[in-house]
Amino acid sequence: MRYVSFERDGRVRPGAIDGDDVVAIASETLLDYVALPTARRIRAHTQERFPLAGVRLVAPVRPRKNVFCVGRNYLEHARESARADGRELKLPGVPTFFSKAPTAIADPGATLVLQAKISQEYDWEAELAIVIGARVKDVAPAQALDAIFGYTCLNDVTARDLQRAHGQWFKGKSLDGSCPIGPWIVSPDEIGNVQALEIALTLNGTVKQRGNTADMIFDVRRIIAELSRGMTLEPGDVIATGTPEGVGFAQTPPEFFKDGDVVEVAIEHIGTLRNTIRIV
Ligand code: MG
């Protein structure tokens, strides 16, 4: 099943895709729907349907909390980052977690308005995002996938100069409207093996990043197990799982977004998240 949040006649509602239509869900938001007990979810599906082409999709969920993220979770990206920073490559024994402010969330298809006075180095990071579907704590890796509602695409847009200046990652990755997600959340049964998905990012049609979730240093099970140790995860929480190699700052010479760029994050069995860049 593919779940969306859609706008029609000025109202944002949750829905599920059925063929070329979106079927409305009775909950106020998709976040509310995700929080329902599994048995009650199906009863929330209505008979009301609209052609998908006639609605505007918005970010499927806008989490109440910060978006959780994993840094340097693909070996080749960890290697290119170390090289670009002039550091020695050191792999951590546990995932490197950080977070992004929820006000950073942006819609699929949206123009991302990025301010030149804030940063000169807006960069891209294609990522698989997990949407949590249950309230869990201290989850064992073997049970971790049961806590997942679904998966979506996320672009962890980063202001590299801010990231460097502030000594940690939060500020440079939390700017308003800089974190598009979507276009929909795909349930795990449609994904198959989550550790075997092709993931790519194209900029104006040129492939910049290409990887596979098989190359994660910490897989989805381990990420959920580690993050939930002593810390409750709740329905609707979003976890970005890291990016493969090919980010802009590690290119020679470094490359960053320009006004008018079109950026696409594509993940196998999920879809394509497309955004236009506006630098003002
Ligand atoms: Mg990232």
Domain check: are 53 and 143 in the same one? no
pLDDT of 209 over the 90 cut: yes
Q: Looking at residue 133, what is its pLDDT? A: 97
Domain check: are 141 and 271 in the same one? yes
Domain check: are 236 and 133 in the same one? yes
What residues have a C-beta under 5 A from ligand 1, the ion? 125, 156, 243
Token pair recorded at residue 204: 């104006």
CATH code at position 34: 2.30.30
Q: Looking at residue 105, what is its pLDDT? A: 98
| CA angle, 227 then 247 then 275, to 5° | 85
pLDDT in tens, 44-85: 999 999 999 999 999 999 999 999 999 999 999 999 999 998
Domain check: are 112 and 238 in the same one? yes
User: Where a domain ends, among 38, 58, 78?
Assistant: 58
User: Where a domain ends, among 58, 77, 97?
Assistant: 58
Q: Which of 85-99, 111-125, 130-144, 226-240 has the lowest mean pLDDT?
A: 85-99
In sequence order, what are the beta bridge partners of 70? Answer: 97
CA of 99 to the centre of ligand 1 (A): 10
CA of 70 to the centre of ligand 1 (A): 6
Q: Looking at residue 109, what is its pLDDT? A: 98
Pairwise CA distance, residues 269 & 257, whole Å: 27
Q: In whole angstroms, how large is the CA radius of gyration of the chain?
A: 18
CA of 135 to the centre of ligand 1 (A): 24
Give the residue numbers spanning the domain of 31: 2-58
Q: Looking at residue 167, what is its pLDDT? A: 86
Contacts of 11 (CB under 8 A, 6+ apart): none
Q: Tell me 194's DSSP state.
A: G
Domain check: are 132 and 254 in the same one? yes
pLDDT of 16 over the 90 cut: yes
CA of 122 to the centre of ligand 1 (A): 13
CA of 242 to the centre of ligand 1 (A): 5
pLDDT in tens, 245-256: 999 999 999 999
Q: Tell me 214's DSSP state.
A: G
| Domains held by the chain: number | 2
Question: Which residue, among 210, 212, 197, 206, has the nearest Cα to 263 in the 3D structure?
Answer: 206
Average pLDDT value over all residues in the chain: 97
Domain check: are 181 and 85 in the same one? yes
Domain check: are 167 and 48 in the same one? no
Domain check: are 37 and 137 in the same one? no
Q: Which residue has the tokens 């918005």?
A: 58
C-alpha count within 13 angstroms, C-beta hemisphere, residue 231: 10
pLDDT of 38 over the 90 cut: no
Domain check: are 31 and 81 in the same one? no
CATH code at position 109: 3.90.850.10
Strands 56-58 and 67-71: unpaired
Position with higher pLDDT, 5 vs 38: 5
Domain check: are 21 and 145 in the same one? no
User: Where a domain ends, among 58, 87, 105?
Assistant: 58
Q: Looking at residue 213, what is its pLDDT? A: 98
Question: Which residue, among 179, 157, 190, 156, has the nearest Cα to 270 in the 3D structure?
Answer: 190
Q: Looking at residue 201, what is its pLDDT? A: 98
pLDDT in tens, 153-203: 999 999 999 999 998 899 999 999 999 999 999 999 999 999 999 999 999
Domain check: are 121 and 242 in the same one? yes
Domain check: are 160 and 270 in the same one? yes
Q: N- to C-terminal Cα distance for the chain?
A: 38
